[in-house]
Amino acid sequence: MYRIDHWIDGHTVSSKSGRTGNIFDPATGQIQGTVGFADVDEVDQAVANAKAALPAWRSTNLSRRAEIMFNMRELVSSHRSEIAALLTQEHGKVTADALGELARGLENIEYACGIPNLLKGGYSEQASAGVDVYNIRQPLGVVVGITPFNFPSMVPMWMFANAIACGNTFILKPSEKDPSTAMLIAELLKQAGLPDGVFNIVQGDKVAVDRLLSHPDIAAISFVGSTPIARYIYETGTKNGKRVQALGGAKNHMLVLPDADLDMAADALVSAAYGSAGERCMAISVVLAVDTIADELVAKVKSRIPNIVVGNGSDPSSEMGPLITGEHRDKVAGYIAGAAGEGAKVVVDGREGAPSDGFFLKPSLIDHAQPGMKCYDEEIFGPVLTVVRVKSYEQGLQLINDNQFGNGTAIFTRDGGVARQFQFDVNVGMVGINVPIPVPVSYYSFGGWKASLFGDLHMYGPDGIAFYTRSKVVTSRWPDPRTSKVDLGFPQNR
Ligand code: NAD
């Protein structure tokens, strides 16, 4: 048994609130640790430290900020195995997947290494006689990241790398289900040379989040999690005058057209639906199969499922680990149990043969799903792929556009013209063409549409820099005082 607490002003601070949460080992179902939950005073302590660290940090040279990010890049890289082991220990994901998450997170630290270039403003000489105009981007102040359980290293890196590089100080509220990775990241940031107080962690639940949402010294909040909480964070944070980007849940559809290579499509579907036990916001959870190839595609997916090795993530032979909690496993199982009663057909039932220790389910495949069925309408967030049979490209597109979520989608086809039309027509923020999980590289930005994102700016990349800074425009002239006179007219440039 171990205990996890806060990280404030460069060191661990024990919670004295008396409220704690259990940290489970999802592969065994046993409690392995405890996390202290922050009360209002502990959140206030973190905010006060972040606020105190702000003046010196925002005055720190850009080249020094870049140097710290380069140091952090090297440190994360050299601690890869240690971080991946923590991810497996608390989240349950298999080692290869944990290393993959970390590699995608690291891209954001690499992006932030370019901060001197990213913060360049524009300059217009002689906008008027002897008048120059330029814009600069300045940090917002103390900013917050609230993150989900499913990417304990990558999602914080989406946020803090750019936020800190832009000159803000940062408070992370990680998921209470797997809080340890964030603490290791905090230690590495310290080793990288980041001054104390610039990066802080408060552990906790709704109490901590609500205090962060209302604290007058918090300027902005980045959130990633489920849609109901994302909506709540956005509404409450903006009502309290904060800048908010809140990314929510998903139901990502892959449209498979008759001309697609069906073996390739089936490989992609199995990988994208069952990787990380389906606990990815960019997982494919629905396949839209055009009638003429639907039987063949379902058969190809079904034939691949028995080969997936489900087991403890730390076992090198495992390809898919457990779900995060027993409660979540039971909720996912409930969708499988209910599907037949709604008129769908359970082709592979992942409740059968799952390891009994831990929070395991094996991959499930549900055919003949329809809008109006729970297994189609709701985000399941587990290793369940539902098949909806469609008559045409147009019907598939309509279903995607009618869906409440708009995070990711993919089309599998060999017809470039249709793929381009899909990219033009589809109301989804991230689109894959023969790419099942189109998570943008770090120099683009990540974000869904509709109920998958509340706010105006996507996360990381250029939008991340825009989110964590505000623009200031300076108009300047250096006239000869002898030419000065009173002029009540509105300033003109011609
Ligand atoms: P969650 O919404 O339950 O929790 C996210 C964060 O919010 C956690 O830090 C949690 O402590 C906090 N929280 C939970 N309930 C709260 C409440 N009532 N009030 C205030 N704060 C609260 O999400 P989760 O289960 O950790 O993560 C899975 C969800 O995240 C899925 O819906 C998934 O699609 C989504 N997700 C989305 C993206 C994306 O980029 N759009 C990425 C990853 C995960």
What are the pLDDT digits (tens) for 312-366?
999 999 999 999 999 999 999 999 999 999 999 999 999 999 998 999 999 999 9
Q: Which residue has the higher pLDDT, 356 or 217?
A: 217
Q: What is the pLDDT of residues 162-174, one digit of tens each?
A: 999 999 999 999 9
Residue 13: the pLDDT is: 98
Is residue 494 over pLDDT 90?
Answer: no
Q: CB atoms < 10 A from the CB of 494, how many?
A: 3
Return the ligand 1 atom nearest residue 324 CA.
25
**Share of residues in the chain with pLDDT > 90 (%):** 99
Return the ligand 1 atom nearest residue 452 CA.
41
Residue 237 Cβ inside 6 Å of ligand 1? The answer reads no
Cβ pair 320, 277 in contact under 8 A: yes
Return the ligand 1 atom nearest residue 226 CA.
32
Phi-psi region of 16 (alpha: psi -120 to 50; beta: other; left: phi over 0): alpha
Residue 393: the pLDDT is: 98
Residues paired with 469 in a beta bridge: 139
Residue 331: the pLDDT is: 98
Element (H, E) at 373: none
CA gap 321, 327 in Å, rounded: 16
Collapse the DSSP code of 72 into the 3-class scheme (helix H, G, I; strand E, B; otherwise coil) and give the result.
Answer: helix
Cβ pair 458, 476 in contact under 8 A: no
Is residue 493 over pLDDT 90?
Answer: no
Q: What is the pTM of this model?
A: 0.98
Is residue 80 over pLDDT 90?
Answer: yes
Ligand 1 pocket: which of 176, 209, 215 to mutate (most atoms within 8 A of CB): 209
Is residue 4 over pLDDT 90?
Answer: yes
Residue 335: the pLDDT is: 98
Cβ pair 341, 9 in contact under 8 A: no
Burial of 133 (C-beta count, 10 Å sphere; 0-12/13-18/19+): middle
When pLDDT is averaged across residues 63-75 and rounded to a whole number, the result is 98
Cβ pair 201, 172 in contact under 8 A: yes
Residue 303: the pLDDT is: 98
Ligand 1 pocket: which of 176, 281, 324, 437 to mutate (most atoms within 8 A of CB): 281
**Chain mean pLDDT for the chain:** 98
When pLDDT is averaged across residues 252-279 and rounded to a whole number, the result is 98
Cβ pair 298, 365 in contact under 8 A: yes
CA of 227 from ligand 1 middle (Å) equals: 8
Q: How many CA atoms, within 13 angstroms, populate the side-chain half-sphere of residue 300?
A: 19
When pLDDT is averaged across residues 431-455 and rounded to a whole number, the result is 98
Is residue 223 over pLDDT 90?
Answer: yes
Residue 226 Cβ inside 6 Å of ligand 1? The answer reads yes
CA of 216 from ligand 1 middle (Å) equals: 23
Residue 337: the pLDDT is: 97
Q: What is the pLDDT of residues 365-391, one digit of tens each?
A: 999 999 999 999 999 999 999 999 999
Is residue 467 over pLDDT 90?
Answer: yes
